[in-house]
Chains A and B, each alone.
Chain A
Amino acid sequence: MKKTLLLSIALSSAVALAGTAWAAEQGRDGELRLLYWQAPSTMMPYLSGGTKELEASSIVIEPLARYDPDGKMHPWLAEEIPTVANGGISEDLKSITWKIRRGIKWSDGSELTSADAVFTYEYCSHPDTGCTSSNYYNDIVSVDAVDSHTIRINFTVAKPFPYAPFVGYNAPIIQAAQFDGCIGAKAQECTEQNFYPIGTGPFKVVDFKPNDVIVFEANELYREEGQPAFQSVLFKGGGDATSAARAVLETGEMHFAWNLQVEPEILNKMTEAGKGTIIAGFGTAVERLMVNFTNPNPANEEHRSEYLGGNNNRNPHPFLSEYAVRRALSLAIDRQILVDAGYGFAGKISCNVLPAPAIYASDANDECKTQNVDEANRILDEAGWIPGSDGVRAKDGVRLSILYQTSTNSVRQGTQAFIKEMWKAIGVETELRNLSASVFFGGDPASPDTYQKFYTDIEMYTNTFSGTDPETYMANWTCKQVSRKANTWGGGNMPRWCDPNYDALSAEMATTANLDDRIRLAKAMNDMLMQDYAMIPLIHRGGVSAFSNAVEGPRGNEWDSELWNIAEWHLK
């Protein structure tokens, strides 16, 4: 009896062992089916810059470090994240030294070395390559191979946040041997290399059909034992977001669908089928109203919406230059309605232009979270804006009549309509306007309808920044960045808001390395913008994806590729 018991225990543990051994085998889960309703047109992230291409290539080629869904950096091909404390960053902040993990193999069997990183820098910084991530390699003097697995990046200026080159899915390392002949103008003609890059990631490209489908196979040389769990990946592209959601949530044909910009009620209804789950990742994207501080009156001719200096005292906007009006406009908005109607899973109320990473998020502006029409009316009354016979407030012959533009998009038009009604309640008249996205965001200096020219009173769009460091992003609203004729409307400061105190904070941040100080500065800058209502934040926008209940692993990620941890995905 005892014997049989022992035997059965031994047997069952043997079975269990065999079970785990089997479970830990690479490729045990068959095919993973991903659906991106925008199809990737190339596998070369440096020649595209589009999110869809970055996502597709992220499962083949990898950077030294990646961001997780919380915006935290993790060493990927590197041994550790260099810091000043561990000696990886020099005291003067002008160089950073990365150690590449030893023993990492490219899928063709050769070893990943520092030469590949150096080559990647040369490739992307070559002026004729047309590299879409070249801004990740700005201010670099040289990238040196210290030894076979160590690189040092030397910067021209002190870089308090030196983690742009080789970090995140925008700046992965490509194989020097493969792209040797593809530098400069030749980059465009290397179709074979651009479609089938050799990588260090969990999968390798087997078949690439541009703008349609990509087939990946597990990379047998992948560094983690037993990963990836899937033998192959089918990466299908094209179609539209709604039917992509349907393919995961209703028919279950696909395992994962990306970027589902679908009305929340439709998504909710689809999840009732019980086949899939919706995940939202939140990055830094904020849908906001830009307030024009300059006068957009067409009679102004060449000075239309033109900043003429004097901290907004010359050529001021007839009424938006008044603090009380801007504050009232913000108070009158019920942001929760906007979230519920247009965004659902993909939106949260935001009172900051810098809502994330969490360490940078300020709580000093929470007033905006609740609508307060009475207070808004009181402010306007006090400021002398008296309702006329048509219900529209006016002062000294100036009526509170706003021209409000944005891009053509059903959610945006819905938001516009709500805000128009909300502003009507405080005696503000609003005229709505929408422009095709390719014109509005097209940046053609000859067109009067671009968001940069801003020939209206208010405009609405989303802006964001890549990576997790807000320094460059916050520098967008310095006086130097004012979008104007002199810089062919190339600056990032659309409100044309200018404050020397803000510029001073921005300059200070550019030379501060200590994280706590950087947080303090970023929050202060955000609060200045918010409390002066240079922008009126509305919604913190996230990315929404759906994944099948059969699969375990996907976590929304707005800081890096949504497929950043695909090696760990597996069937339940």
Chain B
Amino acid sequence: MIQYIIRRLLAAIPTLLVISFVIFALLDLAPGDPTGSLPMTVPPEVREKIRLSLGLGEAMHIRYYKWVVQFFINEPLNILQHSFGITIGDAENRTRILSWATRSPVIDLIVERTPQTLWVVGLSFLFGILMAIPIGIVQAYRQYSLFDQIGTFVAMVGFSVPTFFTGVVAIILFSVQLKWFPMIYDTTLEITSWNNFVLQVKQMIMPVTVLAFYQAAQLSRFMRASILDNLNLDYVRTARSKGRSENAVLIIHVLRNSLIPVVTLIALGIPTIFGGAIITEQIFRVNGLGQLLIIAIEGADIPTVQTLTFLFAILIVLFNLIADVLYGMLDPRIRYD
């Protein structure tokens, strides 16, 4: 197993290097200009100077090389230095990946925004799972019952109505009409007292619910289908004929087997948490990673887009590996040696 993991990790290195180059090349070839969003009153010669000051005067391979050095050497060294106080090499003149829009280190922006994304998107993912699994089980076990019909209907609604719609509906209903929750996420709020904690919960309810609804809708369908697949199999009949109670059949035998594809799905879904929820974060003004990404794309802030997408790529590769390992643990038939 360990050997397998090491082998996979080593194989990931060239994969990631290729990915980083492809992202860089794609962004470089795509139309878009960091000075494009400036007012038209800024003359072309000033725009040219701005581009040069951002390092766009250099050839593409040099810019790529610089980014690789900054990402793989300078930034990790910087983290070492700030987290553990270990200084290696010339810390003073080490260049970091700077965002073109903010002229500040991209990694700092990411670090600043990760907690909000993890809280809002992560919690909604968690709630989504917690809702979807029991709902899916009951739906499958009582197939075609009223509960199943309603569950299917709600899931279809959740599936097909986009979050930019449910989000706005939630705002109009709960902020404008009922005035229960604030429509603007206060990112300066620090949880120092019980009152602030209540405020924090209040402002998280709408984005979390909207996202959790969407997640649960998708997952519950999977859960239902997976249980249905298993319910008709021979081992279930065997278990029942052995005289085991329905609960034991369902929870011990069926659930464990049906969870295998769902767990994979969940593991592969975790990187998307870090990707943030671009639309939901934008609607509720949560300063998460998704919002950072969309702002960077709109402003042609290439270093930020490049770094973020590459971090997502790393996470996806990593969680693919985790999903594979989990598979082996859940399903004894699978061996990696």
Contact = CB atoms under 8 A, between A and B. Distances in A.
A565 interface: no
Interface in A229-288: 234, 236, 238-240, 243, 246-247, 250-251, 253-254
Contacts of B109: 210-211
Given A51-B39, A132-B50, 14 more contacts: A49-B35, A49-B38, A49-B42, A127-B49, A128-B52, A134-B46, A188-B53, A195-B104, A211-B109, A238-B287, A243-B168, A246-B183, A441-B40, A442-B32
Interface stretch (B233-241, B292-300, B319-327): B292-300
15 contacts: A42-B101, A42-B102, A48-B101, A129-B53, A135-B45, A188-B98, A188-B103, A209-B188, A211-B295, A213-B287, A243-B168, A247-B184, A438-B37, A442-B33, A447-B31
B175 interface: yes
B102 A41 contact: yes
A212 B37 contact: no
Contacts of B53: 128-130, 185, 187-188
Interface size class of A (residues with CB under 8 A): 35 or more
Contacts of B98: 188-189
Contacts of B282: 238-240
A212 B117 CA distance: 14
Contacts of B95: 189
Contact of B37 (A50, A194, A211): A50
A211 B105 contact: no
B41 interface: yes
A409 interface: no
Given A239-B285, A253-B182, A490-B44, A444 B31 contact: yes
Interface of A: 35, 39, 41-42, 44, 47-51, 127-135, 185, 187-191, 194-195, 207, 209-213, 215, 234, 236, 238-240, 243, 246-247, 250-251, 253-254, 438-439, 441-444, 447, 462-466, 490
B89 interface: no
B162 interface: no
Contacts of A238: 282, 285, 287, 291, 295
A251 B175 contact: yes
Contacts of B187: 209, 212-213, 236
B253 interface: no
A189 B31 CA distance: 26
Interface residues of B, number: 52
B112 A209 contact: yes
A67 to B, nearest CB: 14
Interface string B78-120: 0000000000000000010011011111001100100000000
B336 to A, nearest CB: 43
A211 B102 contact: yes
B54 interface: yes
Nearest to B179: A251
B103 A47 contact: yes
B188 A243 contact: no
Contacts of B33: 438, 442-444
Contacts of B295: 39, 41, 211, 238
B179 A443 contact: no
7 tightest CB-CB pairs across the interface, nearest first? A130-B53, A212-B287, A41-B101, A210-B102, A191-B104, A41-B102, A466-B41
B43 interface: yes
Contacts of A135: 42-43, 45-46
Contact of B41 (A195, A215, A444, A464): A464
Contacts of A215: 188
Contacts of A42: 101-104
Contacts of A209: 112, 187-188, 287
Contact of B40 (A48, A207, A463): A463
B97 to A, nearest CB: 12
Contacts of A50: 37-39
A131 B104 contact: no
B171 interface: yes
Given A209-B187, A213-B188, A443-B47, A132 B42 contact: yes
- Most chain A beta carbons < 10 A, residue from B54, B95, B183, B184: B184
B203 to A, nearest CB: 11
Contacts of B102: 41-42, 191, 210-211
Contacts of A463: 40
Nearest to A40: B102
Contacts of B292: 211
Given A128-B53, A185-B53, A239-B283, A438 B184 contact: no
B334 interface: no
Contacts of A134: 46, 49
Nearest to B172: A246
A553 B44 CA distance: 37
B244 to A, nearest CB: 55
Contacts of A466: 39, 41
B40 A243 contact: no
B76 interface: no
A443 to B, nearest CB: 7
Given A240-B282, A247-B184, A211 B31 contact: no
